[in-house]
Chains A and B, each alone.
Chain A
């Protein structure tokens, strides 16, 4: 730019101010209002080095030298904050014409406050908005973290609960087995009998088409079928040899007694057990006790328990008798089909007798069941 052009521009457009420097970067000429942009104290002394006047030029000594020597076009520092105004500072070489030697260095101050004012709001808005988005993002991800944390807690809680539930089931089962065993123990027999009955009953229930859940319930409830025996006096309960008719009548009471003991509970399992205790001595043909129920009026749990109880009881030594051989047991069950036992259940039982025998074998060898 021709030096005169610059000056013309400055006079026409009042928002330019300038300082002219010699080639050693000392100030030699100021425009009127340049004092708005530089330190008055420093500017009042002639021949001050420009860097003393404009702190923005600290560090740019080399670049300024290059401008003075013509090896660099110029420097522009835009949008410099100055006493509530914004100026763009540019430094360039001054020549009479493009082809002339460099005479001086010109420092121009262009007041761009108006431009900044126009921009400020939109830049602020943009940054505010972007910040808000970032903030939201952060909130979201911490929410996500929180959610994950909650999920972990919930999962842990569920696991704990199901473990507890499991424990309860196990405990319940043990209580039941123990209860059943009390009856058995009083009659000097092993607790294994009640557990085997449970196992057989479940197996036969599944064969009869009951659901896994029903079969499991039967397995847990059936060991209590003789619980009423705790109410029978010792002399009768443990009498070696055959009972008299009167004694037998007393003995029969264990079914009703068991029912009364168990049916007081609201627990579904105990209610099921009550039904079984009540009905495990009923017979298919209606000659059983205590109520003389007939056929399918007897709950299937009772009918199943009747078969497996007899099967297991005959197979093991009792106070009043020695264990029967398997063949005799099966013959007995076959003979009682349709009179004592539900014939369709007997058929299922005999058809699958190997399954029941293997359960029996299993109990014989598996010590862990003996501890109850």
Chain B
């Protein structure tokens, strides 16, 4: 079994805990309980008949101030999910800053971006989401792929983890 460390990094309340909870336990709650420190969840994926991948998913406390992210949580990570709240411009603007920290602490690792809470946007703004996703895609070449996700509706939650996992095994 291959074991890999994956860290979710992003501003507070962007939905890191919720994304993990949806992915690992298939649950969601509207309540906001801020994460203190770090909590690890394990998720095992059967990649093929022979290959089993175990993800150690690090849910770390969110900080708007990027400097406040403890490097001890990030070092050793094999993959990173940067999380922004699609309804909170500032949290998206901060993604490149979180990315800087990641690049400083980690050698080349696969990175994906989750623009979360897409369920909160009415349908008409679908195009706007598309644009935000494309903008980030274009501006951050280190990033594998940008997803609009929803921990609430499950949209693209599997997809972010699977995309990252595939890259982890390359």
Interface residues of A, Cβ cutoff 8 Å to B: 55-63, 75-81, 86, 116, 119-120, 123-124, 127-128, 130-131, 134, 138
Q: Mark B23-59, 1 if CB is under 8 A from A, else 0.
A: 0000000001110111110100000000000001000
| Contact pick for B36, options A58, A59, A75, A119, CB 8 Å | A119
Of the candidates A59, A63, A127, which one forms a contact with B4 in the assembled complex, judged by CB atoms under 8 Å apart? A59
Instruction: Indicate the member of B40, B42, B76, B90 with the most A CB atoms within 10 Å.
Output: B76
Q: In the bound complex, what is the Cα–Cα distance between A60 and B56 (angstroms)? A: 12
Q: Mark each residue of chain B from 67 to 98: 1 if its CB lies under 8 Å from any CB of chain A, else 0.
A: 00010110111100000000110100000000
The main secondary structure of chain A at its interface with chain B is: helix
CB <8 Å contact, B70 and A78: yes
Q: Are A81 and B37 in contact, CB atoms less than 8 angstroms apart?
A: yes
Contact between B76 and A120, CB atoms less than 8 A apart? no
Pair B12/A127 contact, Cβ less than 8 Å: yes
Task: Report yes or no: B73 in contact with A77, Cβ–Cβ below 8 A.
Answer: yes
Q: How far is the CB of B17 from chain A (nearest CB, A)?
A: 11
Residue B3, interface by CB 8 Å: yes
Residues of B bordering A, CB below 8 Å: 3-5, 12-13, 32-34, 36-40, 42, 56, 61, 64, 70, 72-73, 75-78, 87-88, 90
Assess the B90–A79 pair: CB atoms within 8 A. no
Tell me which residues across on chain A come within 8 A of B90, comparing CB atoms: 134
Q: Closest chain A residue to B72 by CB distance?
A: A77
B77 neighbours in A (Cβ, 8 Å): 59
Q: Kindly state the separation between the CA atoms of A59 and B56 in the bound complex, as whole angstroms.
A: 10
Contacts A116-B37, A134-B90 given; indicate if A59 touches B78 (C-beta within 8 A). Answer: yes
Chain A positions within 8 Å of B78 at CB level: 59
Pick 29 A–B contacts, CB within 8 A, sort by A. Answer: A55-B56, A56-B40, A56-B56, A58-B4, A58-B5, A58-B56, A58-B76, A59-B5, A59-B77, A59-B78, A63-B75, A63-B76, A77-B72, A77-B73, A78-B72, A79-B37, A79-B61, A81-B36, A81-B38, A127-B32, A127-B34, A128-B32, A128-B34, A130-B12, A130-B64, A131-B32, A134-B90, A138-B87, A138-B88
Residues of A within 8 A of B56 (CB): 55-56, 58-59
